[in-house]
Amino acid sequence: MTGRTFGLALPEYPWDAMAPYLRTASGHPDGVVNLSIGTPVDPTPSVIRRALADAADAPGYPTTHGTHALRRAIVAWFERRRGVPGLSPADVMPTVGSKELVAWLPLLLGLGEGDVVVRPSVAYPTYDIGATLAGAASVAADSLDDLDAATRARVRLVWVNSPANPTGMVRTAAELKALVDQARGLGAVVASDECYAELGWGPWDPQRGGDPVPSVLDPRVCGSSTANLLAVYSLSKQSNVAGYRAAFVAGDSAIMTNLINSRKHAGMIVPYPVQEAMRVALGEDGHVQAQKDLYRNRRDILIPALQAFGLHIHHSEAGLYLWCTAGEDTWLTIGRLAELGIVAGPGVFYGEAGNGFIRVALTGSDERIGAAAARLHSSAH
């Protein structure tokens, strides 16, 4: 009897390839500075921790759709922070972080063989994984105009990521509207991953006279209808709650009704204490501003240091990363940084178009960011 191999045929997790570079960097006498993965390092704000603790007596099952209080908080946040008025609390839902939604959305939308999922040319790898899990095809393109007619006819889901990971690129409201109009013409869903929207810099930094990063649900983008649109957001970055797995999705009423029903059947439920922590976090803007100020300072320290090392920074208008190139092979740059005890993210992990680039995260402590900057400046002399 022939034995059967069980398991999904997914690619190896890319970050495992970083092991030798991490070993090299760890040998630095002043210790490693790991700026490869954007995991928050600053404390979770006390107001959020108190909300989690206060809700810890939770013997009953939580609701998949989320409490009414949480959904009202999400709707209020969209209007106050994202310029999206008039959302119905029925059309929002908490998710167990945003990565699980990205990975499972194509399957939950009913996509399968013959369908096409479009994702940015330089993108978070989970968009491709989601298509694979559903049995659909994933195509890298920054514009639907880049696709041939046969491929366009099969497009069922278009991922847009603004601000983008890893590039930090922001799409204007006009650019988003053009994409939405074109996708709607194909009958495709546009899912917008917006989890870095509170972290705009320069022209996208409202605290410095810039404009807020637009949402796909902004009336300037979608008109008077959320049809075929979903906005995905995470509190991990803005509120330092990556460990809570606290995120949400909002948009098209019919799609949301189906998603809620499917997730009920599958048991995809955010724990009640986390829902309460989210509710409080979404209503308290002070901690978001304080955290952004920390990241702005770290960004201001890293940019000239990376430039002194010979790196050119592209895009990086928003988000937690600096997208850089030295005009050489990605792994050569990664190796040179590792010799300084600095670990960065290889651009090749984000698609072929990322070759030659690296991603440097702002998520180090002030002390570690300072150490990295000193090493980069010293190496330039």
Q: How crowded is residue 212: how many other Cβ atoms within 10 Å of its Cβ?
A: 15
* Domain ranges (residues) in the chain: 14-43+287-379, 46-283
Would you give the distance in Å from CA 221 to the centre of its chain? 20
What confidence tens digit (pLDDT) does each residue in 199-241 have?
Answer: 999 999 999 999 999 999 999 999 989 999 999 999 999 999 9
Burial 267-303 (b: 16+ CB within 10 A, else e): ebbbbbbbbbbbbbbbeeeebbeebbebbbebbebbb
> What CATH number belongs to 46-283?
3.40.640.10
Q: Are 104 and 265 in contact (CB under 8 A)?
A: no
Residue spans of the chain under pLDDT 50: 1
Q: Report the pLDDT value the prediction gives residue 351, as an integer from 0 to 100.
A: 86
Give yes or no for a cis peptide into 271 (omega within 30° of 0).
no
How big is the CA angle at 200 (ends 270 and 333), to the nearest 5 degrees?
95
Structure confidence at residue 122 (pLDDT) = 94
Predicted TM-score (pTM) of the model is 0.93
pLDDT of residue 2: 59
Pair of tokens at residue 6: 């069980």
What integer pLDDT is reported at residue 68 of this predicted model?
97
113, exposed or middle or buried, with CB in 10 Å at 0-12, 13-18, 19+?
Answer: exposed
Dist. CA 147–CA 142, nearest whole Å: 10
Tell me the three state secondary structure of residue 307.
Answer: helix
Per-residue pLDDT tens for 156-171?
999 999 999 999 999 9
Query: Could you tell me if 203 and 212 are in contact, meaning their C-beta atoms sit under 8 angstroms apart?
Result: no
DSSP-derived 3-state class of residue 348: helix
14-43+287-379: CATH topology: Aspartate Aminotransferase, domain 1 (3.90.1150)
CB burial of 136-163 (b: ≥16 within 10 Å; e: otherwise) equals bbbbbbbebeebeeeebebbbbbbbbbb
CA dist 88 and 54 (Å) reads 27
Which pLDDT does position 11 carry in this prediction?
A: 65
